[in-house]
Homo-oligomer: A and B are copies of this chain.
Amino acid sequence: MLGLNLDYPLLVSTIIDHAAVSYGDTEIVSCGRVETIRTNYRAIAERARRLASALSHLGLGQGTFVGSLAWNTHRHLELFYGVSGFGGVLHTANPRLPPEQILYAVNFTGYHTLFVDLDTVPLAEQLAPRLETVDRFIVMARREDMPATSLRNVLCYEDLISTGDPGFTWAEVDERHGCALCFTSGTTGKPKGVLYSHRGTVVSTLSVGGGNGWALSADDVILGMPGFFHCNGWAVPFLAPMYGCKLVLPGRRADDEFLHGLIVNEGVTVAAAVPTIWLGLLDHCRRSGQGLGRLQRVFSGGTAPPAEMIDAYMREYGVRFSHGWGMTETTHGATVSFAAQGLQHEEAVAAMRTQGKPLYGNEIRIVDEDDKPLPRDGKTPGHLQCRGHWIAGAYFRQPEIDLQTEDGWMRTGDIAMIDPDNTLHIVDRAKDVIKSGGEWISSQALEEAATRHPAIREAAVVAMPHPRWQERPFLIVVPMQDAVVSHEELRAHLLQHVPKWWLPDQVAFVADLPHGPTGKIQKEALRRRVAEGVIVPTPL
């Protein structure tokens, strides 16, 4: 007995159409290298149709991949709609990755057309000789700003879309059709592709924008810092038009003064970025004695924001934090923290720091080594798995990787605990956790404890084999310049934050740690240095 509702597809094109018709005058502020553009959803939608039309005329059709190597601008926003709108798939390559990783992802996907920004042209020139399939570069600029370049077959974006039909009819693809492709950052091994569907993108955006997530309405002004190449910019290119929000796109710049100016001058109410940005902005406000204008809510992701910072934003500026947890495999994110209005200040800060709960349409669970569910008791750690509309079921063209369980949950590779009310606490990456006498020690928690010592700049913990306990933690520390920390002092400090049996057996003081392209410590490289005797442990 099928219901009798009209058949209406969950396609990305319906998002920009909604914005164009109901919020056509709502502003988009886009900071490019040579121009700051003020436009609106009516114009963006029309330009995206022109783009889809022009690309169709170039011979691109349903299922065609297209790449971008670009910052967050209105033109990049148009790509999400213009490419998915002719039935294509947009691969948002990350210009900040090492060339090897960009090349790998583009060549692995194997497409012809790459969109570049004015200031990613030099990078494209550097990559070009080793791009195996790309034979057309579209520079996202006006004719008068087009650069001299060694790239061959170069088109000007504005010229291209001027040839497109503003009345182009969006392709009516299956809602399970892909619309965007992101690659993992590949800190270990080769990057892996995650192909997002229209349906997953739309349902995620609806849910993530709701009151237990971003709580967006047409009263909001969003500043979208996360690169569109990171989980599609944490959904910002879809959230803003779906909820009719004014959208501020910072382009390439991310310095404190610039961001502060955007927040205050554009009336930003909601902003998203990694904790580093929030630390810098807080510092900037304190030094300059300036406020944060209309800013109300902040979304933070990547790593857990320090409690002191959340506390400062709340007390000093009345800004509330949400912390989300996600990965490339969870599209825009899997969980978001939520501090109820009635909580005391300290409780609120603690709630904001957790990884939060899954929003409607996504589920989380923890399991043992045999995928058997473990209790949500807030103290049992297990392998975190999730499932839902916007969770990956497989990697792009790598079906051999065992991402999904037999009963349809995605293995995240994280170790976590879950509270009885379904609040998530990430413990560690599964491959970094130290298995000691049948129990787990979180390398992340140890590192966090160590870096709370004022003389320690950075810390990393790796597992060392142990005859009796199987593994024991080895702490590698980068001290602050000219600082010295005694073993005794370090032990005493750690014991304030972690149980006694977690105390690392061994320690080493080093000048630096190896970092990956997104700033994460490369544990694999670190383990190699230990194995090769470059880093030598001494008993703690």
Contacts and interface: CB of A to CB of B under 8 A. Distances in A.
Interface of A: 1-8, 10, 14-15, 17-18, 21-25, 62-63, 89, 174, 176-179, 194-200, 203, 206-207, 209-212, 215-220, 242-244, 331, 338, 340-342, 357-358, 360-361, 363, 387-396, 404, 408, 410, 420-422
B387 A8 contact: yes
Contacts of A1: 62-63, 89, 177-178, 195
A410 to B, nearest CB: 7
B389 A5 contact: yes
Given A3-B178, A4-B195, A18-B358, 20 more contacts: A1-B62, A1-B63, A1-B89, A1-B178, A5-B199, A5-B200, A5-B391, A6-B391, A7-B408, A8-B388, A14-B360, A22-B421, A210-B216, A210-B217, A210-B243, A211-B219, A212-B218, A218-B338, A218-B340, A219-B340
Contacts of A219: 211, 340-342
A5 B393 contact: yes
Nearest to A176: B2
Contacts of A24: 420-421
A403 to B, nearest CB: 9
Nearest to A220: B211
A371 to B, nearest CB: 15
Given A89-B1, A243-B212, A357 B22 contact: yes
A196 B6 CA distance: 10
Contacts of A203: 10, 203, 206
B15 A360 contact: yes
Contacts of A174: 2
Contacts of A422: 21-22
Contacts of A394: 4
Nearest to A174: B2
Nearest to A3: B197
A363 B19 CA distance: 11
A195 B2 CA distance: 8
A197 B8 CA distance: 12
Contact of A21 (B10, B198, B363): B363
Most central of A17, A198, A341 by chain B CB within 10 Å: A341
B6 A421 contact: no
A44 to B, nearest CB: 16
Contact of A211 (B5, B211, B393): B211
A395 B4 CA distance: 7
A303 to B, nearest CB: 24
A42 B209 CA distance: 25
Contact of A6 (B17, B216, B392): B392
Smallest CB-CB A-B distances: 3 pairs: A3-B197, A211-B217, A5-B200
Contacts of A357: 22
Contacts of A21: 363, 422
Given A22-B357, A219-B340, A422-B21, A3 B211 contact: no
A316 B25 CA distance: 33
A388 B155 CA distance: 38
B195 A8 contact: no
Given A206-B210, A340-B219, A408 B6 contact: yes
A112 to B, nearest CB: 15
A46 to B, nearest CB: 15
Contacts of A242: 360
A2 B243 contact: no
Contacts of A331: 5
Contacts of A25: 421
A410 B358 contact: no
Contacts of A5: 176, 196-197, 199-200, 331, 389-393
